């Protein structure tokens, strides 16, 4: 398998994962916003509160953040300071990008590993307001960081940050 063939297959897998992550982020933000509006309505209009009104938005917020991280890497949308790196030549820039990607890969891999352990350890504990496992917090961290590893792996393979030329089709 050639490098370009490998990258086209890899990109196809990433596109599927990114599309799923985008839907999860969108759905979790919609649910979070709706429940928060309901919580405000119940608290200030009906003078009562929803028992699950704090747990659902918390889960949705964490899931949206954890799944948005790899999307930020995909579109090179994370905040970065390039004041020094912009002065480097192409070879030095590529080295800095690769070193940064390697460090992110190691960190994200360690986080995903420990999140998997915590998911298993906390799966039998339920949240106070809803019958949902506390492990779903760690599951989102595990999945999001594993997805991040896939994006950072692509950067390591190519030596380039994603840009507008990264195939979108």
Tens of pLDDT along 138-162? Answer: 999 999 999 999 999 999 988 777 7
* Helix 135-158, helix 90-122: angle, nearest 10: 160
The answer as to whether 165 is a domain residue is no
Residue pair 98/91 in contact by the 8 Å Cβ criterion: no
The answer as to whether 47 is a domain residue is yes
The answer as to whether 71 is a domain residue is yes
Q: Domain range holding 10?
A: 3-158
Helical H segments across the chain, by residue range = 3-44, 55-74, 90-122, 135-158
The token pair at 168 is 């979108």
pTM of the predicted model as reported, rounded to 2 decimal places: 0.85
The answer as to whether 33 is a domain residue is yes
The 10 Å Cβ neighbour count of residue 29 is 15
The answer as to whether 53 is a domain residue is yes
The answer as to whether 130 is a domain residue is yes
Residue pair 89/154 in contact by the 8 Å Cβ criterion: no
Q: How far apart, in whole angstroms, are the C-alpha atoms of residue 90 and residue 76?
A: 18
- Is the torsion defined by CA of 144, 145, 146, 150 positive or negative? positive
What pLDDT score was predicted for residue 130? 87
Is the model's pLDDT at 93 over the cut of 50?
Answer: yes
Q: Give the number of domains in the chain.
A: 1
Lowest mean pLDDT among 35-39, 88-92, 108-112: 88-92
Q: How far apart, in whole angstroms, are the C-alpha atoms of residue 23 and residue 18?
A: 9
163 pLDDT band (50/70/90 cuts)?
A: low
The answer as to whether 27 is a domain residue is yes
The answer as to whether 153 is a domain residue is yes
């Amino acid at each position: 398998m050639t490098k370009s063939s490998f990258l086209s297959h890899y990109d196809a897998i990433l596109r599927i994962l990114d599309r799923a992550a985008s839907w999860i982020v969108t759905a979790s933000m919609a649910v979070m916003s709706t429940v928060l509006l309901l919580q405000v309505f119940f608290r200030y209009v009906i003078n009562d509160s929803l028992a699950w009104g704090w747990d659902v938005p918390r889960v949705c917020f964490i899931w949206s953040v954890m799944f948005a991280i790899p999307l930020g890497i995909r579109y090179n949308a994370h905040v970065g300071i390039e004041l020094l790196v912009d002065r480097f030549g192409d070879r030095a820039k590529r080295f800095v990008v690769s070193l940064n990607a390697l460090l992110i890969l190691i960190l994200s891999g360690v986080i995903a590993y420990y999140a998997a352990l915590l998911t298993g350890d906390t799966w039998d504990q339920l949240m106070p307001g809803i019958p949902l496992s506390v492990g779903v917090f760690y599951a989102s961290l595990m999945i999001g960081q594993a997805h991040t590893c896939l994006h950072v792996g692509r950067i390591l393979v190519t030596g380039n940050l994603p840009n507008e030329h990264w195939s979108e089709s």
